[in-house]
Structure 1
Amino acid sequence: MTGEPVVGVLGPPGDAGAFVEWVRPHLGAMARLAARLAVGADRDDVVQEALARAWAKRSQYDESRGTPSAWLLAITADQARKAVRRTHRGLVLLPDDESRRPDLDARMDVEDAVQALPARQRLAVDCYYFADLSIAETAAVMGCSEGTVKSTLSDARARLRVVLEVSE
């Protein structure tokens, strides 16, 4: 050994400046994903929690297992899920009020339709279409295979097609 510090992808251990530069290009995607997944929670808080978690786990990043973007977005998705659970923990459900129900014949917009998807399909749609991740990066965020992402996206598109179909 030469006694020199080991320099990894993120620079020397504990180098906050290298970490900041490494994370900076991904902040926009992290913010977009947090906003989409953590409806009702503060997007910036979710991103901040994700960055703190990434800093704490930076030694676990392995570039052979995926891109920095996918790793950071997986952490962001996890923090968004936690934020939603915290936000919804204290909610009280009110009895259904017929007068507040939306007209079933009214056209549903895309945002409502995406929000109505099952959680796994919504995550795939948010990552692939709204965060502009590749299939491989979406698979890394979701913790599944690329084939599963393709199948999940196909199922989501089929469901959205039915929900958004306008009968004439």
Structure 2
Amino acid sequence: MRKPDEESFRAFAGKHAAGLRRCAYLFCGDWHLAEDLTQQALIKIYRAWAKVQKQDSLQNYSRRVLLNTWLDEKRRPWRRSELRYETVPDTPDVSADPEAAQDRSWAKDMTHRALLELPPRQRAALVLRYFDDLSVAEASAVLGCSEGTVKSQTARGLATLREVVENLTAGRPARRVVS
């Protein structure tokens, strides 16, 4: 690769790697796998950088590569046999109000657990639309489908997410209100 191309790729990777990693985490739910997916996606982008940098939206292209990398990873048979028994709990923020920190931690954990219950396409649509704040047109470009598909996957994903959250919260003890 020519030196100017390499410098432009380094600038792109430095600027967007953290956002891609966060998006990958929301796709897969595991920080270690998210780092691997981000690295694999950046390698794929690096290999095609001469052609890729001429595209209108490098961010959408990089999200598309990341999404395809994640979907490819999910299709691998040895990933399907992996069992998860328990997740490590988040540590509360001791500088904040303990009850507020507990509520934030619970909501964050609940959202994360509920997202992991969604089918991959619905999860991808919700992550791109609401966590990456993409428009319907941008999300359809990343997902490689029509805008109507993005809208229907988002609507179905939200409906499924509501059901999952209701099922998960049914087992949560009621908060006591102290007067």
| Pairing partner for 2:13 from 4, 23, 26 | 23
> What is the TM-score of this pair, normalised by structure 2?
0.65
Structure 2, unmatched stretches of 5+, are 84-108, 171-179
Structure 1, unmatched stretches of 5+, are 1-11, 94-107
Q: Secondary structure at the match of 1:63?
A: coil
Tell me the number of residue pairs that the alignment of Structure 1 and Structure 2 aligns.
143
Q: CA deviation at 1:87?
A: 7.8
Percent identity between the two aligned chains: 31
Q: Does the CA contact (< 8 Å) of 2:61 and 2:142 recur in 1? A: yes
Q: 1:87 to 1:35 in 2, by over 3 A?
A: farther
Q: Does the CA contact (< 8 Å) of 1:33 and 1:131 recur in 2? A: yes
**Alignment correspondent of 1:38:** 28
Structure 1, 51-60 or 77-86: larger mean CA deviation:
77-86
Counterparts of 1:3-152 in structure 2, within 5 Å, are 15-40=5-30, 41-61=32-52, 63-64=55-56, 67-86=57-76, 88-89=78-79, 91=81, 109-152=110-153
Q: CA deviation at 1:122?
A: 0.8
Write the distance in 2 (CA, Å) between the matches of 1:38 and 1:20: 25
Q: Secondary structure at the match of 2:118?
A: coil
> What is the TM-score of this pair, normalised by structure 1?
0.69
Q: CA deviation at 1:85?
A: 4.1
Please state which structure has a larger fraction of its residues in helix. Answer: 2
Q: 1:48 to 1:122 in 2, by over 3 A?
A: same
Q: 1:89 to 1:158 in 2, by over 3 A?
A: closer
Write the distance in 1 (CA, Å) between the matches of 2:48 and 2:81: 32
Q: CA deviation at 1:72?
A: 0.4
The superposition leaves residues 137-167 of structure 1 with CA deviations (integer Å, 9 ceiling, x where unpaired) of 2112211122211121111112222333467
Q: 1:138 to 1:90 in 2, by over 3 A?
A: closer
CA RMSD of aligned residues (A): 3.2
Q: Does the CA contact (< 8 Å) of 1:37 and 1:81 recur in 2? A: no
The superposition leaves residues 35-59 of structure 1 with CA deviations (integer Å, 9 ceiling, x where unpaired) of 1223455322211111110011223
Q: CA deviation at 1:115?
A: 1.3
Write the distance in 1 (CA, Å) between the matches of 2:82 and 2:150: 34
Quick one: which amino acid aligns to residue 42 of structure 1?
Answer: L
Quick one: which amino acid aligns to residue 58 of structure 1?
Answer: W
Q: CA deviation at 1:130?
A: 2.1
Q: 1:25 to 1:87 in 2, by over 3 A?
A: farther
The superposition leaves residues 62-115 of structure 1 with CA deviations (integer Å, 9 ceiling, x where unpaired) of 535xx211100111112223334458447267xxxxxxxxxxxxxx93222221
